[in-house]
Amino acid sequence: MTTTASGPTTGVEAPGDVPDLGVELALDRASAAVSEHRARLRELIDAQVAPLIEAAERDRRFPRRALAALGAAGVLRERWNGGPHGDLGRCVLLSEELGRAALGGVGVGISLHLDAAAPLLRRFARTDLTRDILDRALDGTAVCCVATSEQLVGSDLSSVGTRMQRDGDGWRIEGTKWFVSPGAAADFALVLCAAEEGPAVVAVPREGLTVVKRLETAGMRGLETVRLTVDARVGKDAVLAPPRTGLAAVMTSLTYERLAIAAQTLGALDLAVTLAATHLRRRRQFGVPLHEHQALRLRMADLSARTTAARRALYATVTELAAGGPTNLTDIAGLKVSSARLAERVASECMHMFGGRGYLEDATPMSRLWRDLRVGRVGGGTDEMMWELVASGIRTDDALYERWISE
């Protein structure tokens, strides 16, 4: 294990000949390394993950085989090669391709495993048990989730009611968690709980978790979001973030989750815009392609431009982080919320371009994208929480104000 200024990085250091795609992503997003990795991901997802989607949607079950396939191909471990952030370029490329494949809840479940649970494990795993959980997570042989939200707490994670009490040389963890994804499929839940000294994060195995209810979500049906109770005795080696550090640990994890959500959202929007624009070229009405109708053509131009601008902002943020820049929580929050809000408009407009067929689930992926993308405005932090973060970072300048504004 090596230690960086940001904490320990456990057993996933990069070979010297593997490029950091986070740096290459915006410097040259068409570089050979980026293009080859994107093509590899697309082929792998199309062959190993996409065929699992229909059953996952129908049965509302997260397919463990999806993570197993990505783990066997080395994709999960490659994401966390290198420095304190891992390889953010590979994070973005994988998330984009998951979105572009219209994987819905399965894609989000993969991202929650890899960019919410894994960063907690990678940064804080200090015992043989937690290092083993990390290794299994990156191999795709163990599914991990993060359990933070509670019924009466919502976004106020500092007020969690799940208790962590000393029990001999270990700990007793008891409480109920809401909106845990993919909760029923998880081998381990990284549980935010309240000890006497303050919030902590503990790795709880499946044996200590009971699914109380499978939540009937409007979209993301393959995500397997549940309400569960936690009743477990764990050893002290299961503690990831000790009391008083748990909330900060979860906030760090949320940063990566929000980047992944933004990237996956924009990947899905790329699919929607491309399909809708192609449809306008192919579909004829009143004797000409729909593209020849100016109102539709200009609406598509607007949607495409906004999606491209959001993607460029994401790439620039990731490149700065990968090059050693500071972690700007306000910028990342802004990316997440603006991408999620853009998604609602783009998905709705692109579905509209297909007319009545756009509303048919067996004719196009538009209706699925429309209902799935809505979760981006609440998952990983609501719009309001994101705007609060953005507001806290808005720059003011009294000297500039006094120069230009008369009282």
d(CA 251, CA 281): 45
Please report, for residues 139, 201, 310, the alpha-carbon distance to residue 12 in angstroms, rounded to integers and kept in the order given.
11, 22, 31
> Smallest Cα–Cα separation from 175: which of 198, 149, 154?
149
For position 4, what pLDDT does the model report?
35
Q: How far is CA 47 from CA 41, 43, 338, in A?
A: 10, 6, 32
Q: Which amino acid is at 271?
A: L
**Assigned superfamily of 145-245:** Butyryl-CoA Dehydrogenase, subunit A, domain 2 (2.40.110.10)
- Give the integer Cα–Cα distance in Å for 193 and 231: 12
Decide if 2-143 and 248-396 have a common fold. no
91, 224 in Cβ contact below 8 A? no
Question: How many CA atoms lie less than 13 Å away from 52 in the CB half-sphere?
Answer: 24
pLDDT at residue 27 in the model: 47
Domain boundaries, the chain: 2-143, 145-245, 248-396
Residue pair 259/250 in contact (Cβ under 8 Å)? The answer is no
Q: Helix, strand, coil % (nearest 5) of the chain?
A: 60, 15, 25
What residue spans of 218-293 are helical by DSSP H? 246-282
Q: Alpha carbon of 191 to those of 166, 202, 250, 360, 375: distances in Å?
A: 16, 5, 10, 39, 22
Q: Supply the CATH classification number for the domain 2-143.
A: 1.10.540.10
Which residues are 289's β-sheet partners? 284
> What is the full per-residue pLDDT of the chain (407 aa) written as tens digits?
333 333 444 444 433 455 677 666 654 455 888 899 999 999 999 999 999 999 999 999 999 999 999 999 999 999 999 888 999 999 999 999 999 999 999 999 999 999 999 999 999 999 999 999 999 999 999 999 999 999 887 778 888 999 999 999 999 999 999 999 999 999 999 999 999 999 999 999 999 999 999 999 999 999 999 999 999 999 999 999 999 999 999 999 999 999 999 999 999 999 999 999 999 999 999 999 999 999 999 999 999 999 999 999 999 999 999 888 888 899 999 999 999 999 999 999 999 999 999 999 999 999 999 999 999 999 999 999 999 999 999 999 999 999 999 98
Q: What is the pTM (predicted TM-score) of this model?
A: 0.92
Tokens 């936690």 -> residue = 230
Q: In CATH, which superfamily holds the domain spanning 248-396?
A: Butyryl-CoA Dehydrogenase, subunit A, domain 3 (1.20.140.10)
* C-alpha of 91 from chain center: 9
For residue 228, what is the enclosing H or E element?
strand 226-235
37-46 contacts: CB < 8 A, separation 24 or more? 37/90, 37/93, 38/93, 38/96, 38/97, 41/75, 41/93, 41/94, 41/97, 42/97, 42/100, 42/101, 44/69, 44/70, 44/73, 44/75, 45/97, 45/98, 45/101, 45/103, 46/101
- pLDDT score at 323: 86
